[in-house]
Amino acid sequence: MAGSSNVNLNRLTVFVAVIEAGSLTAAADRLGIAKTMVSTHMQRLEAEVGASLLVRTTRRISVTEAGRAFYEASRQILNVAEEALQALDQGGGVLRGTLRVATPVDYGAMVVTPVLVELRQQHPQLNIELVSGDRRVDLVAEGVDVAIRLGRLADSSHRAVRIGSYVRWLVASPAFVAARGKPFTLAALAGLPFIGMAVLPKPLAVSLESKSGKKQTVRFGAGFLADTATACRAAALAGGGVAALTDFSIGEDVAAGRLVRLLPDWSSPAQGIHALFPSARYPAPKVRVFIDALRAHVGVEAV
């Protein structure tokens, strides 16, 4: 049975890079070392732990069951080590290493990116990686330090901090309104072409709530579907139909007259915006500083 004294812990960094990058070549590029060195590290690590961790073929690398379990443990070890090193710098306010943040496309571009740029300027030894996409990432498997989630949170072992909230407004372009007329009832609204998010379970249905608290779901007919919120906004700006878009993404468009808000007494129920990070005894300083900066940016008092 392998003991910690038999394992070169530096190889854990290489092993984690191989799993997250998906190949020896990509891991070598990520680490800045030769592919042959990565291969050697993996061979020696398997010999040290006495188990097969990877299955190599001519095209790709897959992980064995033992390798997946060992990867999860290796990530935890490396995270704890990084937290310990950063804790030494905490008193001096120095942040080092890499902060990897996953966000939805629109929220990442409009809200998170300016915060990360400012954070990088304040801490030049901290590298930033922003992963934007409208899918839910696996924080551990993809090596993400913080993920921003919009809407209802699924049960998980991750810790969550509330960043703020958002609602969706019904909007259309001025040209579309001029051509089709402005709806004054939900029934009239439902008869118009709709721009929906294809990734949603019911992309042509919108749950709404009035200022008086009345709730109703509007179901549209066939419409224009796109797989990102950014594309839906672009379609609305181009006159493609009615869209239900987040207030943070189109607030400036409405204020500037590029989009017209329809039935302003109605919007979607407010949903939360949260920052998720892997559970630990305490968040890494880089994670805590980023979350505090993001909360300050959107006007939420840090705690």
Per-residue pLDDT at 124 exceeds 70:
yes
Token output for 281: 């005894």
Q: Which pLDDT score is estimated for 87?
A: 58
Average pLDDT of every residue of the chain: 87
Q: Go through the domains of the chain in sequence order and give each one's CATH number.
A: 4-85 (1.10.10.10), 93-163+272-297 (3.40.190.10), 168-269 (3.40.190.290)
**59 vs 36: CA distance, rounded Å:** 16
Tens of pLDDT, residues 262-272: 999 999 999 99
Three-class SS state of 4 = helix
Indicate the pLDDT class of residue 303, thresholds 50, 70 and 90. Answer: very low
More confident residue, 137 or 65: 65
Tens of pLDDT, residues 58-79: 667 888 999 999 998 888 888 7
Q: Which pLDDT score is estimated for 90?
A: 52
Q: Would you say 126 and 120 are in contact if contact means Cβ atoms under 8 Å apart?
A: yes
Indicate the pLDDT class of residue 301, thresholds 50, 70 and 90. Answer: very low
Per-residue pLDDT at 282 exceeds 60:
no
User: Rounded to two decimals, what is the model's pTM?
Assistant: 0.66
Residue 176: is it exposed, middle or buried by C-beta count within 10 angstroms (0-12/13-18/19+)?
buried
Q: Which pLDDT score is estimated for 170?
A: 97
Residues of the chain above pLDDT 90, percent: 52
Which range has the worst mean pLDDT, 19-23, 103-107, 245-249? 19-23
Tokens 């949260």, residue located:
274
Q: Would you say 14 and 30 are in contact if contact means Cβ atoms under 8 Å apart?
A: no
Count other Cβ atoms within 10 Å, centred on residue 234.
14
**90 vs 284: CA distance, rounded Å:** 10
Indicate the pLDDT class of residue 302, thresholds 50, 70 and 90. Answer: very low
Q: Which pLDDT score is estimated for 195?
A: 96
Query: Which range scores top for mean pLDDT: 58-67, 89-98, 157-166?
Result: 157-166
More confident residue, 128 or 86: 128
209-223: average pLDDT: 91
The CA-atom distances, in angstroms, between 44 and each of 14, 27, 264, 292 are 11, 16, 64, 42
The torsion angles phi and psi of 235, rounded to 5 degrees, stand at -65, -40
229-258: average pLDDT: 95
Three-class SS state of 145 = coil
